[in-house]
Amino acid sequence: MPLNRCHDVKVIALNPHGPEGLEHGLWLLELENPGFPDVRPGQFAMLRPPSWGFDPLWARPLSICRALPDRWVFNFLVAGRGTSALTRLKPGDTVTVWGPLGNGFAVEPGTRTLMLAGGIGLAPFVEYTAAHPAPGQLSLLFGHRPPLSCYPYEDLARLVPCESFQDKTPEDIPRFVALVEKHMSEHAGGLALACGPTPFLRTVQAAAKKFGVRCQISLENRMVCGVGACLGCVAADKDGHNVQTCTKGPVFWSGDITL
Amino acid sequence: MDLRVKLSGLDLKNPVMTASGTFGYGLEFAPYGDLRTLGGIVVKGLSLKPREGNPMPRVAETPSGMLNAIGLQNCGVEAFLKRRLPSLPWRETPIVANLYACDPDEFGELASILAAEEGVAALEVNISCPNVKAGGVLFGQDPALAASVTEAVKKRAGNKPVMVKLSPNVADIAAMAKAVESAGADILSLINTLTGMSVDVRTRKPRLANVVGGLSGPAIKPVALRCVWQASRAVKIPVVGMGGIASALDVLEFILVGAHAVQVGTANFIRPDFSFRLVEELPALMQRMGVTDLDELRGSLKTG
């Protein structure tokens, strides 16, 4: 068992993502690579600056957007006290990092693979696309509310066919649901991967069942330890048993989990 | 530097144990440090049958602390003994099984199963969980009930030391300590979590599905120190202190008020190598204080 998978690393850069990132609370954080090998796209890391003292108390789980030789990149949304506190980091500040955690998305180079992202759920697909051995098999459908420039969408659009949909009003939601269904119906026999808010995942889960698409979904869940010990982030599996999102997931086959 | 601690038949190489419910079954933390360096590992509370625990959400962050209402989700004693215990370094580090049941007979049955296992060094009796409807903290709030559970476990525990974990949610912690000591407890551990709640004003809902939960973390350390101080003066058996320990200095504070050893809980969530680092940091701190043996500090709080 490898030891020391918890490291203190320095912040390289922290910036709002794009010209409107600050307004919409979307940020790009670059940390020194903690030196952990074998990041699988879809995995996450727990981040906690020691400067927090005891408040906030918990680390925050962030999906690994890019794992580069010299740095790990995280694209995150300010959702509460912890992520808000993360935006106050400065280059050179220390962050305690443990990871990579969780199981990551399936990689099937010979299979057409549809990536479905909702909002900040786009982040893991940046690494997924960059690391995929056959990117020609990939395509992306991206639903979002803040402007496209708040996300690393262009990084993906340069590499794979992408379609985006900006949901501005509640009336737009049924149109996006229809778009998800259209993509899924065209994807029978393929693989679909989804990451985003729970209502979005429910839509994807239902569409996957309806059109018989093999589908994985990555759950967002409040986590405390990230290592499977605290049992604070459980989700119900298809048999009604509580399973840890952090270690049994965050990626589940869509038919194996109840949302 | 001598860090060894003797606790009524439970010998630790150092006073740093991990608290039940915050360290899984131990193996979850193996990538973050050498489990053999810990003074002891108290595993997740075990029941006779597997339990699914409470509905989500079951954790909430609070100022310098957290609330949990996990509800004793666990794999059950049989799965623990078959699938988890054999992989733990039980020959090098004492594994303490924390046990929970709904009545004294069931406590006794669990105790007898666990006591028969070579890899289980001691039993910790959970009479203080605030998150389960049956039994739970009720056992820990009534001295007679607490004594009856302690007796039931002690009777079936063979030669394994029995540690009883006390709740702070009582009017007189010293009376509880005396009651379980009289009933045969070999060691006391305290405190379990304080009952608390957290409210989301925007949704007008409690942040826990269970409404109330157990408060832990640095926020509760003053309460824990007070309880350990009062309990350790009331009994002759050794006391293991816990509640908000988040530094080597905190360990010494608990030793000063009378603890023989400590358990680290919520700090394991602040970073998963926390307990391992604490074991490394403790000797240097003692050296800086000119202390070579924890006995020099134990119970030496100056109150006059």
Whole-number Å distance between alpha carbons of B242 and B84: 25
Read off the DSSP letter of residue B80: I
CA distance B228 to B139: 19
Number of continuous H segments (helices) and E segments (strands) in chain B: 9, 16
Shortest alpha-carbon distance between residue B65 and chain A (Å) = 6
Three-class SS state of B90: coil
The partner residues of A193 in beta bridges, in order of sequence, read A115, A216
| Interface touch A229/B66, C-beta < 8 Å | no
Contact A234 B58 (CB under 8 A): yes
Q: In this model, does residue A96 exceed pLDDT 70?
A: yes
- For B257, the token pair is 């008020």
Instruction: State pLDDT tens for residues A115-155.
Output: 999 999 999 999 999 999 999 999 999 999 999 999 999 99
Q: Per the residue annotation, which of B75, B102, B129, B227 is the catalytic one?
A: B129
Q: Which residues of B touch A247 (CB under 8 A)?
A: 28
Whether residue B129 lies in the annotated active site? yes
Residues 199-218 of A with CB under 8 A from B: none
User: What is the percent of chain A with per-residue pLDDT over 90, rounded to a whole number?
Assistant: 94
Q: Which residue of B has its CA nearest to A82?
A: B61
Question: How many CA atoms lie less than 13 Å away from A93 in the CB half-sphere?
Answer: 18
Q: How many CB pairs under 8 A join A and B?
A: 104
Report the distance separating Cα A203 and Cα B170, nearest Å: 48
The pLDDT of A187-208, averaged and rounded, is 96
pLDDT tier at B129, thresholds 50, 70, 90: low
Contact B121, B90 (CB under 8 A): yes
**Are A232 and B70 within 8 A, CB to CB?**
yes
Complex confidence, ipTM: 0.94
- Cα B91 from chain centroid (whole Å): 21
Burial (Cβ within 10 Å: 0-12, 13-18, ≥19) of residue B164: buried
Average pLDDT over chain B reads 95
Q: Which residue of A has its CA nearest to B22?
A: A230
| Residue B22 φ/ψ, nearest 5 degrees | -120, 5
Nearest CB to B269 within list A5, A225, A240: A225
Task: Reply yes or no on whether the pLDDT at B3 is more than 60.
Answer: yes
User: Which residue from B minimizes the CA distance to A6?
Assistant: B32
- Greatest Cα pair distance, chain A, in angstroms, is 51
At A205-232, the pLDDT tens digits run 999 999 999 999 999 889 999 999 999 9
Helices (H), chain B: 77-79, 104-115, 137-141, 143-156, 173-182, 221-234, 248-256, 267-270, 274-288
The pLDDT assigned to A1 comes to 47
Chain A residues within an 8 Å CB radius of B63? 55
Residue A3 near chain B (CB below 8 Å): yes
* Span B194-245, pLDDT tens digits: 999 999 999 999 999 999 999 999 999 999 999 999 999 999 999 999 999 9
CA angle, corner A200, sides to A214 and A140, nearest 5? Answer: 60
Interface of B with A (CB under 8 A): 21-24, 28-34, 44, 52-53, 56-59, 61-66, 68, 70, 73, 217-219, 246, 266, 268-273
CB-CB neighbors (< 8 A) of B57 in chain A: 222
Q: Tell me, rounded to whole angstroms, the distance of Cα B154 from its chain centroid.
A: 18
The nearest alpha carbon in chain A to B273 belongs to: A6
Instruction: Look up the pTM and report it.
Output: 0.96
| Set of chain A residues whose Cβ sits within 8 Å of the Cβ of B267 | none
